[in-house]
């Protein structure tokens, strides 16, 4: 995945299709049995080490003052809502850990009157919450636990 504005490399998205158990290793290939399938698995799909996630998540304190962006939804959706998985641009290098909760928000500006030329920065408006499920060095995967309106890639999140 690349940052849409800077084209800088963010990381790789691994899409889990299923679980294969290697049953025999030969000189030039290995044999495996598909233990579990979540999507269609085809010849040429890649393998990686599978570490099952602990289904129990303990809520933990978050990083005070941390802000970041939602990079993308798990399946590339442009409209994101409750119970969907998203990828964030912050990870363990930033202090993010499994079990932290963050707020999705938007910043607004306004004027004191229609005649005023001075634009004021208004307090952020929170419209969703995220629960961190998995963390890499520079990215994290989160579950959208609430959303009062549609969330989109590029939206901001912050510590409460």
E strand residue ranges, the chain: 18-25, 30-37, 67-73, 85-88, 101-106, 109-110, 120-121, 125-135, 140-147, 156-158
Structure-token pair, residue 50: 């599978």
Q: Set out the domains of the chain in order of their start, with CATH numbers.
A: 1-52 (no CATH), 67-158 (2.40.10.410)
Q: How many CB atoms lie within 10 A of CB 102?
A: 26
53-92 pLDDT, tens digit each: 788 899 999 999 999 999 999 877 888 999 999 999 999 9
Per-residue model confidence (pLDDT) at position 77: 81
Sequence-distant (≥ 6) Cβ neighbours of residue 31 within 8 angstroms? 22, 23, 24, 25
Q: Look at residues 3, 16, 149 and name the one whose alpha carbon lies nearest to residue 75.
A: 16
Structure-token pair, residue 73: 């939804």
Q: How many CB atoms lie within 10 A of CB 12?
A: 9
Q: Which of 11-25, 116-130, 141-155 has the lowest mean pLDDT?
A: 11-25
- The secondary structure of 105-128, three-state, reads EECCEECCCCCCCCCEECCCEEEE
- Average pLDDT across the chain, whole number: 91
Measured in degrees and rounded to the nearest 5, phi and psi for residue 156 equal: -95, 150
Whether the predicted pLDDT of 51 surpasses 90: no
Residues belonging to the chain: 160
pTM reported for the whole predicted model? 0.79
Strand partners, 132: 142
- What share of the chain in percent tops pLDDT 90? 71
Nearest-angstrom CA–CA distance, 107 and 123: 7
């Amino acid at each position: 995945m690349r940052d849409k504005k800077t084209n800088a490399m963010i990381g790789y998205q691994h899409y889990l299709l299923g679980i294969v158990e290697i049953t025999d290793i030969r000189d030039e290939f290995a044999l495996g049995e598909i233990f579990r399938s979540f999507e269609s698995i085809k010849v040429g799909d890649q393998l990686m080490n599978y570490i099952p996630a602990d289904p129990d998540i303990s809520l933990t304190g978050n990083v005070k003052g941390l802000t970041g962006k939602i990079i993308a939804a798990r399946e590339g959706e442009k409209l994101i809502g409750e119970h969907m998985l998203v990828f964030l641009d912050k990870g363990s290098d930033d202090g993010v850990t499994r079990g932290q909760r963050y707020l999705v928000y938007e910043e607004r500006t306004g004027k004191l009157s229609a005649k005023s030329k001075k634009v004021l920065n208004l307090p952020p408006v929170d419209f969703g919450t995220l629960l961190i499920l998995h963390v890499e060095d520079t990215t994290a995967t989160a579950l959208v636990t609430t959303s009062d309106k549609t969330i989109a890639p590029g939206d901001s999140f912050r510590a409460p």
